Amino acid sequence: MATSAPLIVILAAGKGTRMNSARPKVLHEVAGLSMLGHVLRLAAGIDAAKLAVVIGPDMDDVAAEIARHAPGAEVFVQQTQAGTADAVLTARTALDAHAGDVIVLYADTPLIESSTVAALRQALDAGAGIAVLGFEATDPDGYGRLLTASDGSLIAIREHKDASAEERRVTLCNSGVLAFRVPSLSAMLSRIGNANAKSEYYLTDAVAIGRADGIRASVVCCPEDEVLGVNSRVQLAQAEGLWQDRARRKAMLDGATLISPETVFFSFDTVIGRDVVIEPNVVFGRGVSVADGAEIKAFCHFEGARIGAGAEVGPFARLRPGTDLGSKVRIGNFVEIKNSVLGTGAKANHLSYVGDGSIGPRVNIGAGTIFCNYDGFFKHRTEIGEGAFIGSNTSLVAPVKIGRDAYVGSGSVITKDVPAEALALERSKQEERPGWAAKFRSMMARRKAAKTG
């Protein structure tokens, strides 16, 4: 068995010119998280692994992303890109200070599962000095080929441009991900040359060097989709689709009902409880959790929100960051909520904006209610006590407090606190002028005729 936590080396120095972006390739997102973030999260879940990340020069934003997700990682800068072996050797000080396994991952390959990395380590435990992650390619054109012996051991990895016609017929291909258990990886990699079509130092050449030294190499296979490397926006969309399919399946297996799964989009950190029902065309941004038994109706968008057990939300509802819905809350169509807490059984059924509020249990917020929370400079809070009733087309001008079981009449603009169990009305006196409408229409018709004549 492995004697110590592994060293994970993540290669993140690629420029990603095919992305046609001012943004480094590895910072482009899948399910709301950068590809680099996905790989850092994978590494963080591996037996307290030590982490080294290789980036390119002038990649301060990439370094910041590393610090955000893995503050303990060592960062190394590859000044000139001369191949994958050269990239790994950029982290030489980390390699030389480490006595255990070394696993090399890529920041543009965000779909690899922790079970696959575990399988690589199991191959090392079974006696291999090098374990290579491979896959059967639907179309192997462009991939390095894994050349195996009759006993299944790996002889060499041949890059496509350097492969013979016979070798190119091999469909077992290299993902680029490798695991090593050798006495000194930096010494092995230092022996790699660049006599190849691209004049680069290929990490894959370590297999042939190791074999010459009596080190056994083996292949661990995984599905082709799992090792999709992202080099273009087209492949980024493919990775998003694959990730979403995986997340939808997991949600359903865990007990949620997705009426039309292909129309539901999750974020990397979405949490969905049991017996949740999600109707079509729902988007979950970052930081959303949905408790057991909630019902999410069609065409909703959420981010930074907690939805309580048995709540009903939508259709066409928007929950923004800081929203906290208690159990059995009902949020209806065209309601937007931000930075607000709604207690058990509270309702806002249609056409309302609730911002910076504290709403007690059983509160009813009528249609067209607006929380006027911003004065042009500062945000202010609205507090509504348990059981209060807010009539339709009401404006609550914060800061303001509505007491327990109070009533606010429809059409009111409330600027002062309302005591518990009181009725608050703010309206002009209704006035009627008999015959005014007929006189007005006659006058306007004469003006229009004079103008067109």
Question: Residues 385, 360: contact at Cβ < 8 Å?
Answer: yes
Q: Which helix (H) or strand (E) holds 130?
A: strand 130-136
Nearest by Cα to 358 from 373, 344, 371, 340: 340
Looking from the CA of 60 toward its CB, the CA atoms found within 13 Å total 1
**Sign of the C-alpha dihedral, residues 254, 258, 263, 265?**
negative
Nearest by Cα to 387 from 418, 413, 356, 351: 418
Residue type, 327: S
What is the C-alpha separation between 357 and 403, in angstroms, rounded?
14
Question: Residues 344, 362: contact at Cβ < 8 Å?
Answer: yes
What is the C-alpha separation between 444 and 360, in angstroms, rounded?
51
| Six-digit token string for 423 | 């009725």
> Which distant-in-sequence residues (6+ apart) come within 8 Å of 21 by Cβ?
28
Nearest by Cα to 180 from 60, 249, 89: 89
**H runs (alpha helix) in 78-164:** 84-89, 92-96, 114-125
Clarify whether 160 is annotated catalytic.
no
Active-site option among 38, 160, 350, 380: 350
What is the C-alpha separation between 388 and 360, in angstroms, rounded?
8
Question: Residues 134, 144: contact at Cβ < 8 Å?
Answer: no
> Which distant-in-sequence residues (6+ apart) come within 8 Å of 12 by Cβ?
26, 36, 53, 54, 55, 59, 62, 66, 106, 107, 108
Nearest by Cα to 95 from 189, 1, 217: 189
> Which distant-in-sequence residues (6+ apart) come within 8 Å of 113 by Cβ?
42, 222, 226
Question: Residues 222, 149: contact at Cβ < 8 Å?
Answer: no
Q: Enumerate the active-site residues.
A: 350
